[in-house]
Structure formats: C-alpha cells, structure tokens
Structure 1
Amino acid sequence: MDSHKPVWASRWYGTSFRVRYQETDQMGVVYHANYLTWFESGRTEMFRRLGFAYRSLEGLGLLLPVTAADLQFKSPARYDDLIAVYARLTTFSALRVVYEYEIRRVSEADAEAGDGVPGITRARMADSQPLPGELLVSGSTNHVWLNKEWKPVRMDRAQPELFRAITGALKEEEGGAV
C-alpha cells in the first residue's frame, strides 16, 4: 500500500447508548458540543473493533489529535433517545486520518441487530444499504499523526509494524478495498 495514498471508505462501525439527562440543554435537546464527544466514542470503538486501542498508540508515542471537525445538524436528539454513532475511515495514511460519522436515533430492534454494530448486518454492509434509524447529525474529523513532542510524524516510519497491522486489518474487512 502506498503510504501517501488515502483509502476508500471503510465499512461502518457503530456503538449505541441512551441520551443522558446531563447531555441536554434547557430546550430539552442534546447540547451541540456533545456530538463531538459522541464522534470520539464512535472512532474509538471503530478502532477497537479493528483490534487496536488508542491507549496502545499513545503508549507507543503516537498521538492523533483532531485538526478539523465538520458537523451538519439535521434533527435534535433528546433525553432517553436510543442513539447509534456510526464511524468509518475515509482516509488512512502514514500522515493523516479522516473519519466520517452518522449519529442516528434507532429503535430497540436496530440496536440489538447486527454483528456488534447496531442494525448493521453483513448483508446490509455488502449491499450498501442505508444505515438504520433517523439521521440526526453527520460529519467528519481530520487528524494528523504526532509524536509525544507534538511534532508531525510518519506513522509508517515511527511504528512500521503497527502501520502494517492497521493497513492489513483494513484490507481484510468486508465492504472495501485498499
């Protein structure tokens, strides 16, 4: 894999939870800044399902801070809604990473369906069917690889084994090709 070449869009990974009271504002809707926290939950769980943990990256001296975030609000989430946060990679290179997200209100049945991903069955992934539930927020975040001194670093040079392991995991997943 060319370490400068971004990847396609990976398959979606998801996690679900209920909106907590403290996440809402006086209008009874989720306060807008909470969606960024939910994006982080989505990307952390996606990375974990690929077999890696952000904590292990940091232990190896790699940091992946957000350099840009974009959110489009469609409809508000409210207290006690069942929410699914879906995340996927649209770019993974030795220099940077870009994630895409969808936050959706889902039913109990959607949250219980799928292979550990709310409402995403292997058939749905293979057929590129729409994600379940009502789209509330979509967006993306851009990240760059840094070392502990906050200097840009090429992941393929700083941690070549880890870089190969992650690109290998992405190649093996269903629904995309690197």
Structure 2
Amino acid sequence: MAPPLSHTIEIRVRFGETDPYGVAYFAAILDYFKRGMDEFLRSRGLPPDLAYRNPKRNYGFPVVATACRYRAPVRFDDLLMLRTRVVRVEKSGATFGFSLFRTEAGKDILAAEGRISCRSIDASWTPVPLPAELRNILSAR
C-alpha cells in the first residue's frame, strides 16, 4: 500500500485563541485541523469552497465527526507544524488525520492528534457517492 497523502503547514498561535493562562483553547486546535484540511485541498488544486459546497456539481462535503487527543499544551506565539493526511477514502466520504507539533529545546513535541470525517451529500443533504473529481484528489498519489 502506498504511503498516505499528506501536507504540512505552519501555524502561529494567536492571542485570541488562548485562555487566560496563555494556552490555546481546545476549540482552537480543531480550527487548526480544519485549516490543515483546507490547505491540503488547495495543495491538490481544489479550492476548499468547491469541495465543501459545490452547487454547480450538486454536492457538499460537510464534516460529520471530529476527534482530538490533546497531548501537550501550546501557548500564545508558539509556531506549530501541522501535518494533514488522508487516512481513509470510502464510497461516500473520507477521513483526514492530523498531527500537531510544537518545538521545545530543538525537539518536536506532539501537542495534539486527531481526525475529521466528511461525507458527500447532495443539495437535499442525502448521502451520495463521493464525486469522481474529489475521489481522485483524495486518492491520487
């Protein structure tokens, strides 16, 4: 089996994403994951808005499930590395995996890891098979 498709971005923790102790609020991490998904799609030549809501081709690709395991705190102004990868492509959807790292004393520390699953739907929110163009983008090596 070929290695999973992946894409890496840098993210700087902004002040507004932190709690009173300067630690990134838990929902900010999920936002980082979503940002990673957006940039993954862009890196494959598909604008995210056309993946998530494509009225011309009559499909959407909403998030249906998320999971996150918080391993180490990230703080205001930390520069993070987020790796996004395709974990699974199914008949009607796909699951993305995420690994978020911060650097401390020259070592990469796993700060969080998680998954986001999306499903393909039509305009009436009925599940439909993954459109070929999206399947190709998520499956091509």
TM-score of the superposed pair, with normalisation by structure 2 = 0.85
Match of 1:31 among 25, 48, 58: 25
Give per-residue Cα distances to partners, 1:119-173, cap 9 Å, x unaligned.
xxxxxxxxxxxxx822100011121111122111112xxx44x146425xx33x3
RMSD over equivalenced CA pairs, Å: 2.3
Partner of 2:86: 89
**For residues 145 and 51 of structure 1, what CA distance do their matches in structure 2 show?**
19
Q: Percent identity, aligned pairs only?
A: 24
Query: Does residue 50 in structure 1 map to residue 47 in structure 2?
Result: no
Give distance in 2, aligned partners of 1:64 and 1:164. 12
Shift of 1:11: 3.2
Q: Measure, in 1, the Cα distance between the counterparts of 2:41 and 2:31.
A: 16
The answer for the alignment partner of 2:72 in structure 1 is 75
Counterpart of 2:30 in 1: which secondary structure?
Answer: helix
- Secondary structure of the 1:33 match is helix
Q: Give the number of aligned pairs.
A: 137
Q: Hey, which bits of structure 1, 4+ residues long, moved more than 6 A?
A: none
Does structure 1 residue 166 correspond to structure 2 residue 137? Answer: yes
Give the Cα–Cα distance (whole angstroms) in 1 for the partners of residues 76 and 135 of structure 2.
42
Aligned to 2:114: 139
SS at match of 1:84: strand
SS in 2 for 1:152: coil
The structure where strand makes up a greater share of residues is: 2
Contact 2:89-2:135 at 8 Å conserved across structures: no
- Matched letter for residue 70 of structure 1: A
Q: Which residue does the alignment assign to 2:123?
A: 148
Which structure's residues are more often helix, by fraction? 1
**TM-score of the superposed pair, with normalisation by structure 1:** 0.69
Q: Deviation at 1:54? A: 2.1
Deviation of 1:36 after TM superposition, in Å, equals 0.8
What amino acid does structure 2 have at the position aligned with 1:151? T
